[in-house]
Structure 1
């Protein structure tokens, strides 16, 4: 669910879009799955963790 009052930075938006493009509705979605999706875009693991945290805090993921 997107919270339109809480905007994402361009990098966070890219991370969110990578997750959207990769996730399949019939497959389990876990913390590790999200990190793998974000990391696939030339992002190091610690940075992917930070992006995921921001997406969760801003209610783009839950």
Structure 2
């Protein structure tokens, strides 16, 4: 299986905003993973600190 995380940081323009927002997303979703079985098809959207959807993660079968 593969854990796939995609976050669009192109709209994050401020000084260090991309680093801060990506770090926040990784901490939040890393801590939230315990609520998932981590089987192919599991996944969720990823939001920034302004609650805008900036990406998603999912579990995929290995190719």
Same fold (TM over 0.5): no
**Higher strand share goes to which structure?**
2
Radius of gyration: which is bigger? Answer: 2
Report the TM-score, using the length of structure 2 for normalisation. Answer: 0.39
Larger relative helix fraction? 1
Normalising by structure 1, what TM-score?
0.40
